[in-house]
Amino acid sequence: MDKPLIKQHRLSVNHYIYGNEGGAWSNEAHIAKMGGDSNTLCGTPILVANWARQLDVTEAGCPECIDIYMDNVYNELANSMLGDDGEFNLWFVTESNDIADDNGNGIVDHKPNDGTDEYEFQTTRIYTNLKEAEEYMNSVNLQEDGISMVQVEDRHKGEVNNRFLTKTLKVIIEENTDY
Ligand SMILES: [Zn+2]
C-alpha cells in the first residue's frame, strides 16, 4: 500500500498546474508553487504562457512533480498529526539521506538532497497499521548515496522503530619521524 490516504492529486491552494506547450498537450503538466521560484517542483523553467491554463488541463501528470508534491503534503500532514493523540493511530514512514554517528545519536554527515527542499527527514508514506509500515521500512536498501535512514513514527507515541547507516569514525595516528 503506497501513499494510501491521498488518492487524487488535488493541489493545496498555494500550488498550481503549469504546462509548457508540449507538456500540457501530452498530459504531463507540472506542479508549481505560488510565489515560488521560476521553476516547477521538478525544476522545469516556468515561462510566461501557461499552456495548462490555456488548455484547461486540470491534472498534473509529471511523475517527478507529483512525487515531490506528495512528499511535501505527507510531511505537512505528519507534522500536524504527530503527537496530537487523535482517536485512531497512524504510522508515518520518514526517510533521510543523512548519515548518523556510530551510536545513532546525531547526524555527522548532511547529504545533499534533490535540492527542492531543505529537510533532514521527510515523511514519504503513511500507513494505517504498524506491520505494513515496518515491512516497508525493512525493505529499504540503505545506501550511503541514497536513503540512509528510515524510521517509523506513530501518531500517539512518536518514534517506534528505525534503521540507519552509521559512519565509522576512523582514528588517524600520525607518527613523527623526528623521534
Ligand atoms: Zn514536473
Q: How many CB atoms lie within 10 A of CB 44?
A: 19
Do 34 and 91 belong to one domain?
no
Q: According to the model, what pLDDT value does residue 7 have?
A: 31
In a domain, 129, yes or no: yes
Distance from residue 82's CA to the centre of ligand 1 (Å): 29
In a domain, 68, yes or no: no
Do 129 and 56 belong to one domain?
no
pLDDT-based confidence at residue 12 (cuts at 50, 70, 90):
confident
Q: Which domain does 118 fall in, by range? A: 82-164
Overall domain count for the chain: 2
Do 46 and 95 belong to one domain?
no
Cα–Cα distance measured from residue 103 to residue 107, given in angstroms and rounded to the nearest whole number: 10
In a domain, 35, yes or no: yes
What counts of helices (H) and strands (E) characterise the chain? 4, 8
Distance from residue 68's CA to the centre of ligand 1 (Å): 9
2 pLDDT exceeds 60? no
Do 97 and 150 belong to one domain?
yes
**Which residues, listed in sequence order, are joined to residue 153 by a DSSP beta bridge?**
92, 159
Q: What pLDDT, in 10s, does the model give residues 105-160?
A: 677 777 655 444 445 678 888 999 999 999 999 999 888 878 888 889 999 987 77
In a domain, 108, yes or no: yes
Distance from residue 59's CA to the centre of ligand 1 (Å): 12
Do 52 and 86 belong to one domain?
no
In a 13 Å sphere around the CA of 126, the CA atoms on its Cβ side amount to: 20
In a domain, 55, yes or no: yes
Distance from residue 45's CA to the centre of ligand 1 (Å): 10
Q: What pLDDT, in 10s, does the model give residues 59-95?
A: 888 888 888 888 888 888 888 898 888 889 999 998 8
Distance from residue 92's CA to the centre of ligand 1 (Å): 25
Do 54 and 109 belong to one domain?
no
How much is the pTM?
Answer: 0.66
Q: According to the model, what pLDDT value does residue 25 have?
A: 67
